[in-house]
Structure 1
C-alpha cells in the first residue's frame, strides 16, 4: 500500500491495514512509544513536532518550538520538541513537557494535531527564551505566519501576570517579520545593539523606469545606506556573483551604498560590520 510519509502511530497503521505488523518491524523504526517513521528518515523540527503529537494521542497541545515549526518557521532543527499536557507524564528523550492552561481560542489544528496559534506561540517563546534567541525564533515565526507584533501584544494583554512577560516586553520591540534568514536577524540585532537606529527590512528600490531593481535586506532609506548578508551562494556561484556585481553598480548609480556581511565577519569580526556601516552612514549625512 506504499510507504507512510512522516511519523505515525504504529497501532493505528496496523489496525487500519496501512502496514502489517511484519512491515512495521521491517521497514520502520520507533521514535517514541507507538510512534514510527520510515527507516533512515531524519526528522526535521516539524517531523519531531508531529511525532510527539502522535505520542500524546490527542491529549496534548504542541507549543513553543514545535508549534512554530507547525506554522512553517524555519531554522528550528536543533531545537527540542515541546508539548503541553493536561496531566503529568514522563516525556520521551529530547521532548519538553509543560502543564500550561491554554484557552481554546489560542489553539488551532494543523494536520490533525492541536497546536497554539501563531500569536500564542510567539507569546510563549518570547517569555521563555533568552533575548537573542527569542528575537531570532519569533522573527522566523512572524515571517512564516505573516504575524504582526500587535497580535502578540493582544495575547499578552490577556495574560498580564504570566511568567516572563517582562522578557517579552524587551523582545517585541526588536521583532521584525521582514527577516528572511537567521543571519539577517543576527545582523540587524548587531546593528541595533551597537546604537544604530532600527533599520527597515526588505527595502524595495526602483529604477528610473519604475521597475523594482533590488530588494535590500535592511537599511535606511533616508541616507540610502543598506546592509546585506551574503550567504555562501553569493561567493561560490559565478552566475550569482555576476548578478551581484551588476546589481551593486545599478544601486551605486542611484546613490545607494551597500555594506556587505559574510558569515566570517558576523561570527568573528562583528566590529568590522559596525565600523563600515557607521562610515557609510556618515558619508551619506547621518550625524548620530
Structure 2
C-alpha cells in the first residue's frame, strides 16, 4: 500500500520556500516532489489543495524572487490592483530599476527602466507599480488595443483618472514612452465593463468611426428602455457584445427582450460575438458602418461630440 504524502500542518494552505521547509525538517526533497505540493517557481511551492491564481504567483514573486527596489509591474500589477484578467500560467511581469541585478527566473518576465519616486506602492506587503506607472508600462510594453484594455480597467476601479494619467505622461515629455501613454489614455474609457468591450470600442475608433458612448442608457418619454454596451445616440445605433449569458438561458432571454424594446424605438442594434471579434471583425465593421450610414453618418463628419475628459 502506497504511503500518503506528508502534509505538515504548518504548510497546509500556504505558499512557502522549499529550502526553508527542508531546513526546518518539515519536508525532504522527495516530499516536495509528491502530489501534495505544487511548484510555482524555483524553490517556491504551494499546497496543492490551495487554489493558485495569478495574484498568488505575483505575491510569491514579490516576496521571494525580485530584488530590493523592484516591483510587480504591467498586467501583473493590474491584477494586484484588482482589475485585470489573467490566467494561472501567465508570466509574472516585474520592473527592475536600471543598475539593479536580477537574474532570469522561469515564470518571470523582467523589464528594466528608470523608476521615479512614487512609482512603487505597497499592496498588502507586495511592491507593485502605482496605477499611473502601470499604465505607462502597459502602454510601452503592449500593443495599443491591449494597453487600453488594462487602462480602462484601472480607470474603472477609481484608483486613477484620465487627467492624472495625462499629467503623469506630460511630466515625462521626452522620455521614451510618453507619447504611447498619451495615445492610449486618449482612447481609454472608464465605462468599459469587460476586456472584450474595450477591444471592440478601440478597434472601431481606430478604424475611423466616431467614438461611441459606453454603457449608454436609452429612455423614451422618461421611461427606461435599456442600457447598451456601445452607442452612437445621435444616430440611434448601438453595439452589443454577446458573451455574458451563455451559461444563463434566463438572463439571455431577458437580454434579448431588452434589445427588442430598442428595435421598437427605432434603434439599430448590431451584435458581436467572441468568434466574430476574433475571426471576422472586418465583416462586423462593415455592418456597423452600414448602420451608421443608413442614419446619416458620413466619413469625416460626426454629430457626436468627443467623450468629455473626466
C-alpha deviation, 1:98, in angstroms: 3.1
Label 1:159 to 1:239 Cα distance change in 2 as closer, same or farther (>3 A).
Answer: same
The 2-side partners of 1:229 and 1:214 are apart by 14
After superposition, residues 1-288 of structure 1 pair within 5 angstroms as: 1=9, 5=13, 7-9=15-17, 20-21=26-27, 25=32, 27-39=36-48, 43-56=52-65, 59=68, 60-77=70-87, 79-85=90-96, 87-208=100-221, 210=223, 212-231=224-243, 233-234=245-246, 237-288=248-299
Deviation track 1:192-227 (CA, whole Å, cap 9, x = no partner) reads: 1221101111112235454x4422111112122110
The 1-side partners of 2:158 and 2:20 are apart by 31
Query: Aligned-pair RMSD on alpha carbons?
Result: 3.0
TM-score (norm 2): 0.79
Matched-pair contact (CA < 8 Å) for 2:236–2:268? yes
Q: How many residues align?
A: 284
The 2-side partners of 1:209 and 1:159 are apart by 47
**Is 201-210 or 266-275 further displaced after alignment?**
201-210
Matched-pair contact (CA < 8 Å) for 1:49–1:62? yes
Matched-pair contact (CA < 8 Å) for 2:74–2:138? yes
The 1-side partners of 2:170 and 2:14 are apart by 37
The 1-side partners of 2:249 and 2:231 are apart by 26
Label 1:243 to 1:39 Cα distance change in 2 as closer, same or farther (>3 A).
Answer: same
C-alpha deviation, 1:126, in angstroms: 0.6
Matched-pair contact (CA < 8 Å) for 2:226–2:259? no
Matched-pair contact (CA < 8 Å) for 2:214–2:231? yes
Greater percentage in helix: 1
What's the secondary structure of 1:204's corresponding residue?
strand
The 1-side partners of 2:108 and 2:168 are apart by 25
The 2-side partners of 1:218 and 1:20 are apart by 56
What's the secondary structure of 2:104's corresponding residue?
coil
Matched-pair contact (CA < 8 Å) for 1:33–1:55? no
Matched-pair contact (CA < 8 Å) for 2:242–2:271? yes
The 2-side partners of 1:97 and 1:226 are apart by 42
Label 1:82 to 1:241 Cα distance change in 2 as closer, same or farther (>3 A).
Answer: closer
C-alpha deviation, 1:230, in angstroms: 0.2
Structure with higher Rg: it is: 2
TM-score (norm 1): 0.84
C-alpha deviation, 1:138, in angstroms: 2.4
| Structure 1: 5+ residue stretches without partners | none
Matched-pair contact (CA < 8 Å) for 1:118–1:145? no
